[in-house]
Amino acid sequence: MTSNLSRALCVVGLSAALTAAAGGPAFAQGAERQILLGAVVPSSGPFAEWGRANTVTLQMLEQQINDAGGINGAKLHISILDDATKPAQATNDLRKLGGDDKVLAVAGPLTSSAAEVAFPVANEMKFVSTSQASSKPGVAKLNRPWAFRNTIDEGVLGRTTVPYYKKTFNIKSVAIIFDAKDATAATVGGKIMPALMKENDIEVLNADSPLSFNTGDLDVSAQVTKMKALNPDGVVVSADYSQAVTVIREMKRQGMMKPVVGSTQLISSAILKAAPEIPIVAPATFYATMTGEKPEKFVKDLQPLLRKTSGLPPEIEPSMYDANIYEIVSIYIDAIKATGVTGKPEDLEADRSKIRDHMAKLAGFPGLGGPIGFNDDGDAIKAFYILQGENGAWQSKVRGCSAAPGHPGC
Give me the percent of the chain exceeding a pLDDT of 70. 90
Structure confidence by residue, pLDDT tens digits, 57-111: 999 999 999 999 999 889 999 999 999 989 999 999 999 999 999 999 999 999 9
Whole-angstrom CA distances from 348 to 104, 241, 310, 334 are 7, 39, 37, 17
Q: Is the pTM of this model over 0.75?
A: yes
pLDDT reading at 234 higher than 90: yes
**Residue 392: its pLDDT value, please?**
82
Q: What type of residue is 391?
A: N
- Distance CA(82)–CA(44), nearest Å, equals 7
**C-alpha 148 chain-centroid distance:** 12
- Number of other CB atoms surrounding residue 52 within 10 Å: 26
Read off the DSSP letter of residue 74.
B
Distance in Å from the first CA to the final CA of the chain: 48
CA-based diameter of the chain, in Å? 71
Higher pLDDT, 9 or 169: 169
What is the mean predicted confidence (pLDDT) over 357-372?
94
- Distance CA(150)–CA(329), nearest Å, equals 11
Residue 57: name the closest of 87, 78, 83, 85 by CA. 78
What is the mean predicted confidence (pLDDT) over 140-157?
94
Structure confidence by residue, pLDDT tens digits, 164-180: 999 999 999 999 999 99
pLDDT reading at 289 higher than 80: yes
Higher pLDDT, 404 or 8: 404
- Number of other CB atoms surrounding residue 390 within 10 Å: 15
Higher pLDDT, 401 or 348: 348
What is the mean predicted confidence (pLDDT) over 127-143?
93
**Residue 5: its pLDDT value, please?**
41
Strands 365-366 and 75-82: unpaired
Read off the DSSP letter of residue 45.
S
Higher pLDDT, 276 or 30: 276
Whole-angstrom CA distances from 258 to 212, 217, 365, 393 are 18, 22, 39, 17
**C-beta of residue 131 within 8 angstroms of C-beta of residue 108:** yes
**C-beta of residue 148 within 8 angstroms of C-beta of residue 70:** no
188: Cβ–Cβ under 8 A, 6 or more apart, which residues? 136, 154, 158, 178, 238, 262, 263, 265
What is the mean predicted confidence (pLDDT) over 41-70?
94
**C-beta of residue 176 within 8 angstroms of C-beta of residue 233:** no
State the average pLDDT for the chain: 89
**Residue 115: its pLDDT value, please?**
96
**Residue 404: its pLDDT value, please?**
60
**C-beta of residue 86 within 8 angstroms of C-beta of residue 44:** no
What is the mean predicted confidence (pLDDT) over 187-200?
96
Read off the DSSP letter of residue 99.
I
- DSSP calls for 149-198: ESS--HHHHHHHHHHHHHHHHT--EEEEEEETTSHHHHHIIIIIHHHHHH
**C-beta of residue 248 within 8 angstroms of C-beta of residue 240:** no
DSSP helix/strand/coil, 317: coil
- Distance CA(225)–CA(160), nearest Å, equals 30
**C-alpha 114 chain-centroid distance:** 12
pLDDT reading at 201 higher than 90: yes
**Residue 280: its pLDDT value, please?**
96
* Residue 375 binned pLDDT confidence (cut-offs 50, 70, 90): very high
Burial of 233 (0-12, 13-18, 19+ CB in 10 A): middle
Q: Could you tell me if residue 404 is left (phi over 0), alpha (psi between -120 and 50 degrees) or otherwise beta?
A: beta
Burial of 245 (0-12, 13-18, 19+ CB in 10 A): buried
* Residue 121 binned pLDDT confidence (cut-offs 50, 70, 90): very high
**Residue 405: its pLDDT value, please?**
57
Please list, residue by residue across 29-38, b when 16 or more beta carbons sit within 10 angstroms of its beta carbon and e when fewer do. Answer: eeeebbbbbb
What is the mean predicted confidence (pLDDT) over 324-328?
98
* Residue 410 binned pLDDT confidence (cut-offs 50, 70, 90): low
Kindly report which listed range (14-23, 55-64, 293-302) carries the lowest average pLDDT score: 14-23
* Residue 6 binned pLDDT confidence (cut-offs 50, 70, 90): very low
Phi, psi of 281 (to 5 degrees): -120, 130
**Residue 247: its pLDDT value, please?**
97
pLDDT reading at 10 higher than 70: no
Structure confidence by residue, pLDDT tens digits, 58-72: 999 999 999 999 998
Domains of the chain, CATH where assigned: 4-152+290-378 (3.40.50.2300), 154-284+385-401 (3.40.50.2300)
What is the mean predicted confidence (pLDDT) over 30-37?
80
**Residue 13: its pLDDT value, please?**
41
Strands 393-401 and 383-390: antiparallel
**Among the ranges 19-28, 196-205, 208-217, 237-246, which has the highest mean pLDDT value?**
196-205
**C-beta of residue 92 within 8 angstroms of C-beta of residue 50:** no
